[in-house]
Structure 1
Amino acid sequence: MAEAWKPDMTEQLSADDWIKQGLKALARSGFTALKADPLAKAMGVSRGSFYWHFADLGAFQAAVLKRWREIAAEQIIADVEAGGDEPLRALLRRSFGTRLDLERAVRNWAAFDAAAQGAVRAIDRRRLDYIEQLLARRGLEAATAQARAQILYWTFLGFALSGAPVPAARLQALLDEVFTMVSA
């Protein structure tokens, strides 16, 4: 029996496929996993597909960082704004209620790479500005909103970097307390 013809995977994979695989590898194994060979092997294709979409490793890493910024800030903000819940509560649930392996991996990467460090600085600023905005909408004075946004963000970073799981009921009680503290 003749073997069925299989299309070349190089033609089927998009840059987006590579970026998604890169984000998974980054979250699972850290920034050192962002190399063409191991990613190609994991996807069952040749390195040629990688270089079809990206001029070099630096271009790929820039695309991964750009996507991280989109999903770790812009998508969350859009979802919070589109939801029917109180935005600050929704942001707390969303930010503290997800696995943060990717957050930790990018921040670790930033300790070794200037481009990753720039992406982290940009996302920190974007997130802080948004939290300040939410607190100002709740009627807090600008200086108070700025201070509480910083404290809330430091709380998030401590949670993200600790990596320690918190039981759902305990996490909800903590988030209720945080909400009360920053919005009082």
Structure 2
Amino acid sequence: MTGPSAVRNDRHPSPISKSTKDDWIAAAVDILILEGIDQVKIQVISKRLGVSRSSFYWFFKDIGELQDELLSYWLRRNTGPVIERAMRPAKNLTEAVCNVFECWINPSLFDSSLDTVVRFWARKDPNVRSIVEQADRQRIEALTHMFSRYGMKDGEAFIRARVLYFTQVGYFALEVRESLETRTKHLRNYLLAHMGSEPDESALEAYIRRIEGLKGRPA
């Protein structure tokens, strides 16, 4: 199936509707999270947007191109912040790990629902699985470098990075529901388990103050 002969425009509404490319991607993300990849269909999205199906082809060649956009969005949304936080300069390892921890509790930094549903998608599609595995490697590599910067040998840094990362991915997969206040009570022991040493008090207190405004949300 081919789209309109006009050159596609990513930033402006199509001439046959008021939708934009970002509108289609945002709607597709919502449907992916709520209903899974099988419902990410042109007809379903156009109905949600209240536009004609034909307007889809103003922005995308086919549904595969939209799926590629979804994966790119996921990588920017979830992998980018983890890597940035892992590589962010910090005074000590406690501060560095807390920088990463903030991704797990702040939904503006990491969308756990999106991460989970993309992993379900990967079970059905080998190409998606390859992208997910690459993203996992990139996240773990960044965490490994984080631990290495604070004096850990390569082998230990790698394993601690995996333990920290796999623990959190499992936390989301199990859909553990507890308040941020509850998790904060366990924070010192989480840090001890992941670092192998007592946390720095000033960094710990600074982190708790920083996330104070997030309390009451599910972690």
TM-score range, shorter chain: 0.7 to 0.9
Say whether 1:102 aligns with 2:114: yes
Alignment partner for residue 54 of structure 2, among 6, 28, 48?
Answer: 48
User: Quick check: 26-35 or 75-84, which moved more?
Assistant: 75-84
Q: Which residue of structure 2 lines up, in the alignment, with residue 34 of structure 1?
A: 40
Aligned residue among 136, 139, 143 for 1:131: 143
Decide which moves more: 59-68 or 166-175: 166-175
Q: Percent identity?
A: 25
Show structure 2 runs of 5+ residues with no match: 1-12, 197-219
Deviates more, 1:118-127 or 1:85-94: 85-94
Q: Structure 1: give runs of 5+ residues left out of the alignment.
A: 1-6
Matches within 5 A, 1:2-151: 10=16, 12-78=18-84, 86-98=95-107, 100-151=112-163
Structure 1 residues 58 and 135: alpha-carbon distance in aligned structure 2, compared to 1, 3 A threshold: same
- AA matched with 1:94: C
The alpha-carbon distance between structure 1 residues 8 and 94, as it changes in their structure 2 partners (threshold 3 A), is closer
| Amino acid corresponding to residue 49 of structure 1 in structure 2 | S
SS in 1 for 2:124: coil
RMSD: 2.3
Aligned length: 178
TM-score (norm 2): 0.73
Give secondary structure in 2 for the equivalent of 1:163.
Answer: coil
Cα separation, 1, equivalents of 2:141 and 2:162:
9
Measure, in 2, the Cα distance between the counterparts of 1:137 and 1:24. 38
TM-score for both structures, normalised by structure 1: 0.85
Choose between structure 1 and 2 for higher RCO, CA contacts under 8 A separated by at least 6 residues.
1
SS of residue in 2 equivalent to 1:111: helix
Q: Give the deviation of 1:37 after TM superposition.
A: 0.7
